[in-house]
Amino acid sequence: MKTLYGETKINEKDSEDIGKKTSIKLKYYKIKSLIIKTKRKKYGIEIVKEELNGKSKTKERTVEKYISNSEQVIEKLLKLLVKNKVTPVTTNDIITDLRKCPELIYNPDQNKE
């Protein structure tokens, strides 16, 4: 099961690579899976990028399943991804880095606004 967590857009203010005729929309989803053998829930993420360049439209996505047993950890991760406008192409690198430095999403005092 997947649930939309949030959306954002990337425009020319966010990137020098984007022209004025290009529009990029990012959608972030929380994925919940039930592992049948253990009857435990596992959570992951999906990011979908839709790019409109003139009349041409492209769609790109990435799915990272089974990242955590904790829904709260995934929500903190998604909050960071939305805030930093992470795209599908960089998601794997971000997840790898967060596994090396998990306190970025596990620390309850981190990321308070």
* Residue whose C-alpha is closest to residue 33's, from 63, 6, 61, 2: 2
Does the pLDDT at position 67 exceed 70? yes
How confident is the model at residue 111, as a pLDDT?
43
Q: What is the pTM of this model?
A: 0.82
* Per-domain residue ranges of the chain: 2-106
Q: Residue 23's CB: how many other CB atoms inside 10 A?
A: 15
Does the pLDDT at position 100 exceed 50? yes
Provide the strand spans (E) within 1-113. Answer: 2-10, 22-35, 40-53, 56-68
How confident is the model at residue 112, as a pLDDT?
47
